[in-house]
């Protein structure tokens, strides 16, 4: 049976000490968490195992960990979706 895994990353703010990226002058950035949540709803219907990292959770270390975990568990023919917004 085909395995399907998704990693959804929504970044409005990454570091609590950094500036807020949700500045309304930057078109679309403020919707990044909404985009990740909407993609989750879509992929849930398709049976994906979903990992979602939002804002401060989405460190380079955590993203790489999820990608490495997926790479070690998937085989030829399986699916991996990676969304970063």
- Tell me the per-residue pLDDT of 2-38, one tens digit each, with 9 for 90 and over: 999 999 999 886 555 655 545 544 444 568 888 999 9
pLDDT score for 1: 81
pLDDT score for 82: 97
Q: Where are the alpha helices (DSSP H) in 2-85?
A: 32-45, 60-73
pLDDT score for 61: 94
Q: Quote the tokens at residue 42.
A: 């879509």
CA nearest neighbour of 51 among 75, 29, 68, 76: 68
Q: Is 30 helix (H, G, I), strand (E, B) or coil?
A: helix
pLDDT score for 80: 98
pLDDT score for 18: 58
Q: What is the pLDDT of residues 38-75, one digit of tens each?
A: 999 999 999 999 999 998 898 899 999 999 999 999 99
Strand pairing class (49-54; 79-84): unpaired
């Amino acid at each position: 049976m085909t395995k399907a895994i998704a990693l959804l990353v929504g970044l409005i703010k990454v570091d609590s000490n950094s500036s807020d990226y949700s500045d309304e002058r930057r078109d679309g950035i403020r919707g990044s968490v909404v985009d990740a949540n909407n993609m989750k709803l879509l992929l849930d219907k398709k049976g994906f195992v979903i990992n979602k990292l939002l804002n401060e959770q989405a460190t380079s270390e955590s993203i790489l960990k999820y990608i490495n975990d997926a790479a070690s568990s998937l085989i030829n023919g399986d699916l991996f979706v990676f969304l970063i917004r």
